[in-house]
Structures are given as structure tokens and as C-alpha cells.
Amino acid sequence: MQSSRAPQRQLQRRLASLTFAAATIAALLCFLNAGESGTALADPAALRVAKTTAAKASPVSATVRVTATGDIAFGSTPGLPPDGGRSMFAHVARFLDADVVLGNLETVLADGSGAGTKCAGRTACFSFRAPPQYARLLSGAGFTALNLANNHSYDLGPAGLAQTVAALRRARLSSTGRPGEIAVQNVGLVRVAIVGFAPHPGAQDLRDIPAARKLVRRAAMRADLVVVTMHAGAEGSDAAHVRPGVETYEGENRGDVVAFSHAVVDAGADLVLGHGPHVLRAMEWYRGRLIAYSLGNFSSYRNFNTNGSGGVSAVLRMTLRSDGGWVRGDLVPVRLVGDGTPVRDQARTALGVVRQLSQEDFGRRGARVDARGNLIAAR
């Protein structure tokens, strides 16, 4: 029997939705009107004020749970896990329970047809490919969106990237990272935009900061929350510290991660999530928004070096208000064991690593992590 309160709850939800939409439109019109006088875009906080005004006018107090991981790799055909990858996330899937679960996919999901590999004729080269059905492993583990802006999504060229996108769609997963691409996920009444960047072919280029700002502004106009994910910075155990200025790796410009991150927050991003160095990096509070500069390796079957710092990782879990404001967050310490399987790290190594790097690299702006992994918001 249907509850007598069900129609009332449905009516309340519809009224809340209409009120929230009206408040959002009114606030954004104020933003646009200010823009005509040349003040809105010059003031990076203008859109955030508009979003906050809309959120406060809403009769509902919505929050969104966002969980993020670092680099995900399955191996490379034919060198794939012997069980078809079914046990890859078995020990950590319980930590991937959130409205938005985002990771960086560094394996092409393709049958290998239609394009040559980037390693043709080269001896020292890394190219990763797994069958398209591996997308179901990601969906089954809890992921809702994958970043494809990285240096492995193009391992089989445009055809391989297209097959990867198609495989993710069949598994009902969103993807982001191609030029101009904004993925949008609805969480109740809240729209969450996810935008990926990297300094690599086939990706939205994070080295073009003016273009990045423009794209993030577009995302902020389309959604309540904006999450930026970046594959950037130098790689390896000696790349744990965030350095000012442009970072390079093997002569390649890997972007100015601090300048980029600050610019996209100024443009309306509510959260910036980094990966690429294959080690954990510092976390910084900037204008009340969290920037995680690298979440390290999350899974790897004989792909990445998981010895030492390369095997120390974490799952970042956060709850944000509909206006992007911080509610709470924590780090689940992870370690990659065996051939690269993620498990919860009982020694909690990641907590000390992130705590120390954040303090050393950003001082008072660095994120504080308590003994239980809770992130303490900046005052």
C-alpha cells in the first residue's frame, strides 16, 4: 500500500525543485547583468556568490558525496590479471560508495582494431590496453565517472579513445577530458559538472590556462558543483613535492599545477583532484576549496612501480554543499600489494605522507589530516 504521505513528499520535492531553479536563474541573471558592466568576470568570486545565493534561497539543504582515487590501470593485453580483473577492487570497493565516484583511467578499453599503437617502432615505451568489457569492473566497484585526460588514453590513437568512451557508456559510466568536454551528473536536485585536463594529445590542455578558465566558467554556468580533475606534474618518487612554476618530465612540459589549480578555482571550480605523478602529493586549501595535487596510484597490474612511495595511495572522500561549500572529508589509506592490488593500509602510511607534504609545501594553506584521516577545513 502506498503511504498517504507519498503524494505530499512528491509535491514538496517538485516545489523545492521549482524554487531552487527560480533562485538559481535569478542569481545567475545578476551575475550576467554584472558581466555586462565588465565586473563579473574580473571578480572570480562573482559566480560563487550567485551560486551561494541560489542555494540559500532553496528550501532544501542538499549535499553531495564525492569520492576520488588516483591512477587506475588493469595491465596490458595479453598481460592482464588471471581472473579477468574481478578481484582488482575487491578489498576497496566498500570505500567507493558515494554520489560521484571519480578515478583516472590509464588503460585503453578496446579490442585493438582500427589503429596502430604509439609504441610502434619504439623500444622504451608504455602502452596499456584491456578488453572493453573491463568497463563493467569499474561500474561494479562503484565508479560513476572516469577521467580520460591523460598520457595513456591515446595509446591506440583516436580509434582506441573512441572505443574506450563507448565501453564506458555501455557500462553507464560518464567520461571527461576530451577538448571542450563537460560531463554532468545529476545528484537529486544538484547538478555536478566534471571537467578533465592534461598536457597530452586528445585531452583538454591544462597548459592553456585562459582556455581552462573559459571552460570551467561554462561548466559553472551549467551546474551547481564543478569538479576539475587534472593529470599533471612530474613523475616518480622524486616528484612528491609540488614545485612552483612549470614541471617537466623527460623533457615534456607537464604544466604549472599550482597556477592552473588556482586559476580554475578562481573561475568557479569547487574541487580540484590531481593524479599523474604516481605518488601522493600535498593538499592545499585555496579560497575555501580543496586542491589535491596527486592521489597516487590506485590500481596497477604489473604496470607501474608500486614499490616504496609508488605503492602508497588513498581514497579521498568528501561531502560538499550544493553551493560547493565544505562539509566534511577524510582519507582512506591504501597500499598496493602483490601485482598492484589496492587494499586498506592498516599502517595508515598515506595519512602521514599527505600531512607532512601539505605542511612543507603550503604551510598554513596545507590541508591538516588528523590521526583518523579526517580533513580539517581551513579557517
Tens of pLDDT, residues 208-258: 999 999 999 999 999 999 999 999 999 998 999 998 899 999 889 999 999
Per-residue model confidence as pLDDT tens digits over 64-100 = 999 999 999 998 888 888 888 899 999 999 999 999 9
Same domain, 31 and 117: no
In terms of domains, do 132 and 38 share one?
no
Per the structure block, which three cell numbers stand in for 208? 592553456
Q: Which of 348, 352, 318 is nearest to 334 (CA)?
A: 348
Q: Which residues of 279-288 are buried (b: 16+ CB within 10 A; e: fewer)?
A: bbbbbbbbee
User: Structure pTM?
Assistant: 0.85
Q: Are residues 226 and 369 in the same domain?
A: yes
Residue 299 has pLDDT above 90, yes or no: yes
State the pairing for strand pair 312-321/63-72: antiparallel
Q: Is residue 228 part of a domain?
A: yes
Give the pLDDT score at 169: 97
Same domain, residue pair 49 and 71: no
* 18 and 125 belong to one structural domain: no
Query: What stretches of 86-244 adopt beta strand conformation (E)?
Result: 100-105, 108-109, 129-130, 145-147, 174-176, 183-187, 190-197, 225-231
**Nearest-angstrom CA–CA distance, 162 and 165:** 5
Domain count, the chain: 2
Same-domain pairing of 258 and 142: yes
CATH number at residue 202: 3.60.21.10
User: Are 52 and 93 part of one and the same domain?
Assistant: no
- Whether residue 1 lies inside any domain: the answer is no
Query: What pLDDT does residue 116 have?
Result: 55
Statement to judge: residues 293 and 224 lie in one domain: yes
Q: Look at residues 39, 57, 75 and tell me which one is the last residue of a structural domain.
A: 57
Domain shared by 32 and 158, yes or no: no
Rg (CA), the chain: 21
pLDDT tens figures, 105-155: 999 999 875 445 666 555 556 677 899 999 999 999 999 999 999 988 888
Residue 232 lies in a domain: yes
Shared domain for 297 and 347, answered yes or no, is yes
Residues 330 and 181 both lie in one domain: yes
Range of the domain at 29: 6-57
* pLDDT at res. 362: 97
Assess whether 180 and 38 both reside in one domain. Answer: no
